[in-house]
Amino acid sequence: MPRALIVIDMQNDFCPGGALAVAEGDQIVAPINALMDEFDAVVLTQDWHPADHTSFAESHPGAEPFSLIEMPYGPQALWPRHCVIGSEGAAFHSGLELDRADLVIRKGFRPRIDSYSAFFENDHETPTGLAGYLRERALTDLSLVGLAHDFCVAWSAIDAAKLGFAVTVIEEATRAIDLDGSLEKARADMRGAGVSLR
Ligand code: VGL
Ligand code: ZN
C-alpha cells in the first residue's frame, strides 16, 4: 500500500532557541531525513500564523502563555507568539531535506482559529485539504513524525485515523511539549483512536 511520511512542523520556533521550543526538537531532524527514503511520498506541514493570531497569549490582554481559554470552537491553549508568517521562526529547520517534499501544507493562517491538526482546524470541521490530496494519490498508509508529539502530531494522527487512513506515529522521531501531562493523555487518545505508536 502506498505510504506517506507526514512531517509535522519541523520549524525553527519549535526547536531549541525558538519561541516555543520543544526540548531536543532539533535531534529528530537527522532521523526524519533518513526515514524519507522509505516512503512513496513526503509531506511537510508548516505552522503559519498571522502576527495577531488568536492562539497567542498576547492577543488576550491579561492572559499568560500556556494557560487555557474558551474559544467559540472549544478550549484553546495560549502560546507565546510563534511561527509568524514569513518570519525566521516559521522557516523549516535548516537541516531538514526540503527538496524531498512532494507537498508543503500550511495551517493556522486564519486569524481567529488555530489548527493543530494537519487535517482540520481546531473546530474539528474546517478541512485543510490534506485528506483530499492523499486520497487522490491513493496514499492510504501514513507515518507521522515531527513536533510536537502531544499537540500537532497527536491531533493529526487522531484525525487521520478517524478519516480512515492507517496511521503510525514513529515516536523516536517526535518530541513533546508535555504541558500538564499532555504527552501521556495524547498517547492514550491516539491508541484509543486506533493509531499505532512505534
Ligand atoms: C504546535 C502549539 C502551537 C505544534 C503548534 O506544532 O505542536 N503546538 N502551535
Ligand atoms: Zn501554532
Ligand 2 centroid to 85 CA: how many Å?
11
- The pLDDT assigned to 44 comes to 98
Q: Could you list which residues have their CB under 5 Å from ion ligand 2?
A: 47
Ligand 1 centroid to 137 CA: how many Å?
27
Residue of the CA atom closest to atom 9 of ligand 1: 116
Contact residues for 108 (Cβ-Cβ < 8 A; gap 6+)? 47, 48, 49, 53, 55, 83, 114, 115, 121
Residues 52 and 58: their CA atoms lie apart, in Å, by 8
Question: With the C-alpha atoms ordered 99, 104, 115, 186, is the resulting torsion angle positive or negative?
Answer: negative
Average pLDDT over residues 16-44: 98
pLDDT digits (tens, 9 = 90+) for 67-87: 999 999 999 999 999 999 999
**Is residue 1 pLDDT above 90, yes or no?**
no
Q: Is 52 a catalytic residue?
A: no
**For a pLDDT cut of 90, what percent of the chain falls above it?**
99
**Is residue 134 pLDDT above 90, yes or no?**
yes
Q: Is 15 a catalytic residue?
A: no
Residues 43 and 63: their CA atoms lie apart, in Å, by 35
Residues 164 and 42: their CA atoms lie apart, in Å, by 19
Ligand 1 centroid to 26 CA: how many Å?
15
**Is residue 36 pLDDT above 90, yes or no?**
yes
CA 27 from chain center: how many Å? 17
Query: Which atom in ligand 1 lies closest to the alpha carbon of residue 49?
Result: 9
- The pLDDT assigned to 95 comes to 98
What is the C-alpha R_g of the chain? 15
Query: Which atom in ligand 1 lies closest to the alpha carbon of residue 55?
Result: 3
Closest to 55 in 3D by CA, of 75, 41, 39, 30:
75
* pTM exceeds 0.80, yes or no: yes
- The pLDDT assigned to 41 comes to 98
Count of helix runs (H) and strand runs (E) in the chain: 4, 8
Band (pLDDT 50/70/90 cuts) for residue 159 is very high
In this structure, the residues whose C-beta lies within 6 A of any atom of ligand 1 are 9, 14, 47, 79, 116, 147-148, 151-152
Residue 168 dihedral angles phi and psi, to the nearest 5° = -125, 135
- The pLDDT assigned to 153 comes to 98
